[in-house]
Structures are given as structure tokens and as C-alpha cells.
Amino acid sequence: MHAELLMIGSELISGAKLDTNGQWLCDRLAAQGIPVRFSTLLGDTLDDNVAAFALAISRSDLVVTSGGLGPTQDDLTRDALAKAAGVGLVQDDRALAMIEALFARRDREMPDRNRIQALIPEGSSILPNPIGTAPGIWMKTGIAHVACLPGVPRELKAMFDEELVPRLRAVGLGGRVIVNRVINLFGLGESEVEAQAPDLTARGRVPEVGITASDATISFRIRAEGVDEADALAAMQPTIDAIYERFGDLIVGEGTDDVAEAVIALLHDRNKTIAVAESCTGGLIAHRLTRIPGVGPVFPGGIVSYANEAKTDLLDVPADLIDSVGAVSAEVAEAMAVGVRRRFGTDVGLSVTGVAGPTGGSPDKPIGLVHLGLSLDDHTTHRRLSLGSEQPRPVIQSRSAKHALNFARLGLLGKTP
């Protein structure tokens, strides 16, 4: 059983507007046990709309559309559906009464052109709109049930929940519930993860597991079905357990890929504090930590030591160390971590120094070379990253911050060298 979406509006394909109704409908339909197979955005052109309707009603059990129900000339959904279904338009008196009532409630006279909003294809019925003027349409045609909803997100959502869901149940569409879970990993490449989990990502596996990568975070997307939510969750639990067993410490969290959240949770848990010293990340790590509410007790602050003098003056990195090994070095990274930990009197000191580009690279120290320093308990350690000299500055900064936070996370877990 599959659904198909038609998201109608020229603004959606001109680049002027981002469609967000589609994602919302995909999520809600999946939860109703009716996964979406195709979601097509198209403009306010009658031929294209008729073609899209004709195709959809020939191949999908449910077709849900958004937009094109208003009173203006470019609102073509009524016409297009009628043409694709091979029927005419008729006036629905109940719809007309609703539209008139709405204008009356707002103390406004109904413009004549709004009358066309009461026209629906023969054989269809209206979906009342509890909020706006445009009623929706509900129709069985081809092999499909068709639900036309307005494009205004608030109206679409209200009508989906209040009017469409009961009708889906009544005609026997849906039933089995689908639940999605996302588990995020950081610290391995996509193909390495895949190589370690061929059984999990095998095609046709139940529950289904997909892998995606974004900003070096690898996400397992698990999807399970059940007669209800508890059943679906139970169906996916062994898969979730297998992922945790296999990737343990690499897992940053579920739903979120925010390593900073994981670090802060660990710090709270262990009653420890952290301070950060940032050169090439320039405040990004501190920002990611302070984005999170309640960070105060575990993060007194940090130092952005972009200039070498700041490293010596504020972090007590010896000037001759910088002279001899360079600011971008394991030694300076460690000294920065020790210095910032001492300066703020924290349990953990974390530091980053690197070449973010786009200039400043050398054969010896290319763009993308980053050193992380970590001082905690009675030892100090470092890690060297090669993030790629072809990467743009913001990516190197963002990845460096993520790796640094992950370095602190692994340190707190006792997993750093």
C-alpha cells in the first residue's frame, strides 16, 4: 500500500519557496502505515497537473495533494482532478455555505470569485476546512483515493488530522504503523561503517536500515512496521541493540548528531567541567557548547587564541615552543589544553590548532592539518587530523570542532590513547 504526493504551486518549482508540507505529509502517512513512494512538485499549469493526476491515480492507492484550491485563476487542482478523472465540476452547496459563513464570521462580504471554491469534481465530496476558506476534496478515482488539501501548512495539517485520517481508516487504507529511528555515529567513514555492517544494511532486510552521511556524521536510519507503535518499536529493538553492540563508543546519540550534547551530558554525569582553547575553530566549539541550555555548571568559558601572542599571554604556551615547532603542532595543542585547563581551573582542557585555509598552507603543514589537545585527569594527549586541503574553510572549522568535541567525549569515556 503506497501513497503519492502532488505538491502544487509555481512558487515551489521556481526556487522562490521551500516546500515543507511534503516532508510533514510523508512523516504522517508513514505513521499511518501508508509510506509515500513518489512526491512530485509541480507548477500551476493545467496540462502538467492533469498529467500528474492521471499518472498518480493509475499507480498509487492514495494520492494526497497540497495547494491549488484558492479562488484565483492559477488555482487549478479542482479542474485538473476532474479532467484526469474524466468528469465535470459541480457546485457543492455545503461547501458554498461554509465559505459564505466564514466570510460572514469575519464581517466581510464574499467576493464572487470565491464561489469557484465550492466547485468539486462529480462523484467527489468535500473535506471541510476548519480554518481557511478553501475546502478540500475527497474522491475515489482510478485505483486511488484522492485527498486534495490546501497549501497553507496550518490548514493542511488540521485537515489531515481531523478530516483525512478518519476517512483513511474508514476505507481501509493504512493500519500498520511505521516507526523511524536514527542513530548517529562519528569517527568512521561511510564505507567503513557499511563494511562492518553488511548484514544490517542488506537490501530487503526487515526492519530496513539505511545509511546516510552528513558533515562526517554517519546515520543509521531504521524503519520498522507494526500493528501499533509499541509493536514497531519491539520489531526494531534487536537491530538497535546490534548497532550499539557493534559501534558502541562511536555512537553520538539518537535523533541528534550533536557531539556537544553528548559531551555535556557526560560532564554533568561525571560532575566535571571543561574549558576550551581555540585557534582555527575561532570560538565554534565554545558556541556549540553554549547553544545547549544548562551548560553553565560544566563550562565556565574558553579562550579564542587566534594570534600567537594570545597563546603565550593567555594560555602560557612558551613562545620558544611556538618558534621551534610552529603554532600548528601536537606540542602546542597539548600546551594550549593544559594552559586553558589551568586558566579556568577545570577538570578538562580541550584545544584546537590547525590550518583552516584558504591560504596559509605549506607542504609541511597543508590546509586541513589540525591538531587537537586534551588534558584531563593526570595526562595530556593529542590527535592529528588531515581534513583535506581541498575542503573549504567553514568545513574544516566545522569538522575540527566536531572531532575536537568527540575527542573530549572519548577522553571522558577513557578511550583516548
Interaction of residue 286 with its own copies, rule CB under 8 A: yes
Residue identified by cell 566549539 is 285
Q: Using CA atoms, how far apart are residues 349 and 376, in angstroms rounded to an integer? A: 7
Q: Which stretch binds its own copies (CB under 8 A): 85-93, 287-295, 325-333, 369-377?
A: 287-295
Strand partners of residue 91: 119
Interaction of residue 271 with its own copies, rule CB under 8 A: no
Q: Which stretch binds its own copies (CB under 8 A): 32-40, 89-97, 139-147, 228-236?
A: 32-40
Of 87, 131, 233, 235, the one binding its own copies (CB under 8 A) is 131
Instruction: Specify the DSSP element, H or E, that contains 255.
Output: none
Interaction of residue 269 with its own copies, rule CB under 8 A: no
Residue identified by cell 574549558 is 275
Pick 192 or 228: Cβ nearer its own copies: 192
Interaction of residue 189 with its own copies, rule CB under 8 A: yes
Q: What sign does the dihedral 309-315-318-322 (CA atoms) show?
A: negative
Q: Are 95 and 136 in contact (CB under 8 A)?
A: no
- Name the minimum Å distance from CB 115 to its own copies: 10
Q: Using CA atoms, how far apart are residues 396 and 281, in angstroms rounded to an integer? A: 8
Residues with Cβ within 8 Å of residue 223, at least 6 apart in sequence:
178, 179, 180, 181, 207, 208, 209, 210, 236
Pick 299 or 407: Cβ nearer its own copies: 299
DSSP-derived secondary structure for 349-371: EEEEEE---SS---SSS-TTEEE
Residues 169-188 that bind its own copies (CB under 8 A): 178, 180, 182
- Name the minimum Å distance from CB 379 to its own copies: 25
Q: Are 62 and 147 in contact (CB under 8 A)?
A: yes
Interaction of residue 213 with its own copies, rule CB under 8 A: yes
Residues 388-417 that bind its own copies (CB under 8 A): 388-395, 397
Interaction of residue 306 with its own copies, rule CB under 8 A: yes
Q: Using CA atoms, how far apart are residues 145 and 220, in angstroms rounded to an integer? A: 33
- Name the minimum Å distance from CB 155 to its own copies: 11
Of 300, 318, 326, 361, the one binding its own copies (CB under 8 A) is 300
Of 125, 201, 237, 416, the one binding its own copies (CB under 8 A) is 201
Of 36, 149, 259, 408, the one binding its own copies (CB under 8 A) is 36
Interaction of residue 91 with its own copies, rule CB under 8 A: no
Question: Is-cis flag, bond preceding 207, omega within 30?
Answer: yes
Q: Which stretch binds its own copies (CB under 8 A): 207-215, 231-239, 322-330, 406-414?
A: 207-215
- Name the minimum Å distance from CB 113 to its own copies: 5
CA distances, 63 to each of 129, 191, 271 (Å): 18, 37, 53
Residues 237-266 that bind its own copies (CB under 8 A): none
